[in-house]
Amino acid sequence: MKLNKAELEWITKVQKILDDCPSKRLGFFTIGDNSVTIYDLRKETKIGDILDEGRQEFCGAVIEAGADTGMFLTFPANVHSTSG
């Protein structure tokens, strides 16, 4: 599929905004819906400890670690969650 001019311009604008993030502490994840959750990367060690102990899956570990910001980026279509 070839993108049209408007799509290419939109992607370029969105990428520029993401590249201009004023912080190194923002992390992101999705569960496969149309939103990307924003969390505090400074709590990654605590999140990892919770995951290692098997107490939560990633989303729950973010909440338990106190890293949830309550903020989301909402996309016009689903953001599929995959690995690899």
The whole model's pTM is what? 0.87
| Beta bridge partners of residue 40, listed in sequence order | 26
pLDDT value at residue 83: 80
3-class SS at 29?
Answer: strand
Whose tokens are 């953001």? That residue is 79
Task: Classify residue 25 by burial, with Cβ atoms within 10 Å: 0-12, 13-18, 19+.
Answer: middle
pLDDT averaged over 10-residue windows placed end to end, the chain, 84 residues:
97 97 95 95 98 96 98 96 82
